[in-house]
Amino acid sequence: MMVSRRRWRLVAVMVVAGILPGLAQGAVLTLPKGMGAKEMDAAHGKDSVAIRTAVIDAAKSATVTERDEYAKVVVKEFEPELASKNPDARLNTAILFNDLKTLSSDSALIAMLKNTDPSVRYWGARGLGDIAEKLKAIGPLRAITALRDCAKAEKSGVVAQEIIKALAVFGDLPALLVALESVSVQMKAAIPDSGMLQAAALGLNTIEAGISKADAADKLTAATLAAKLASFAAQQQFNYHLQQTAVASSVPPEYMKAVQDVVDAAVKVMGSAAGKSYAHVSGDAPPEVLLNLNTLVGAPGASGIIQKDMAGVPAMQAVKKPGT
């Protein structure tokens, strides 16, 4: 009996997908000799990097299926190193799991988001962002939930950026709004570093494109978050300015730019949410930036334009002053 070309193509696809287990599959790859967890735990510096590189290079010519199976072996072998007392072992294991870029590594990457080491959390978030498109095809909820929960407690601006980048690839607006709310809490509590400001700007720019088509509740949430992030950034920059003035110095230009990026992104989000076109807000010095911004978002005890255009946006709160 003749078998059509179409049927042969279907069989080939099923073999690759592993749907026909009775057919031959690629051999399971093994770790390079002398390149296991024990060696990683004892290694430092370039030796740690060499182990990581050798483990990844062993799967360079592997098929997708073979690489996915190999990743399971790698994760099982090295996962304990994420809790190693050796920081080089923790870091290089975290990068190793990121470099796998397979669906079978998602559980390890999700677990990394709960690690006490921010460098491990960073690579966990980055790794999930790298495989987000693959996860979207089979069910991304676990990863999105983990990233959202990590964002709620994250104090590292660099890690917060990676969380927001990953959520941006997943395209989950509610989770992004939760992440931005967490960033606003951090910014209200203390003068943020440049990384946290960049995370705020990134998140605001990410949601801006779609906020005009969001429902009324999400628009209100987005506008409120945008106003808070801009206000907190400007208030904390003013506090930073006072600190620097006291020691006869000034706020670094790169920091002022990071604050301006937050303000610019926030103005766009508020405009999209309110259906308005708000004027650019800036200033030559931190006090001027804050004063000009207050006209739009309001100040503690005083309403601004956004409160009049969107009645549900609350009055701004004062940030915590350094030393209090």
Question: What are the tens digits of pLDDT across the range 155-213?
Answer: 898 999 999 999 989 988 889 999 999 999 999 999 999 999 999 999 999 999 888 88
- Assign 280 to helix, strand or coil: coil
Q: What DSSP line would sit under 158-224, residue for residue? A: HHHHHHHHHHHHHT-HHHHHHHHHHHHHHHHHSPPPHHHHHHHHHHHHHHHHHHTTS-HHHHHHHHH
CATH 1.25.10.10 in the chain, residues? 27-170
Indicate the CATH number for domain 27-170. Answer: 1.25.10.10
Query: How many other C-beta atoms can be found within 10 angstroms of the C-beta atom of residue 114?
Result: 13
With CA atoms as reference, report the closest residue to 65 among 10, 14, 111.
Answer: 14
User: Is 170 exposed, middle or buried, given 0-12, 13-18 or 19+ CB atoms closer than 10 A?
Assistant: buried
Determine the pLDDT at residue 11. Answer: 35
- At 223-268, the pLDDT tens digits run 999 999 999 999 999 999 999 999 999 999 999 999 999 999 999 9
Alpha-carbon span 37 to 56, nearest angstrom: 14
Task: Determine how many CB atoms are found less than 10 A away from the CB of residue 264.
Answer: 16
User: What is the sign of the dihedral through the CA atoms of 143, 145, 150 and 151?
Assistant: positive
CB-CB contact of 220 with 310 (8 Å) = yes
The pair of structure tokens assigned to 101 is 């870029």
pTM of the model: 0.78
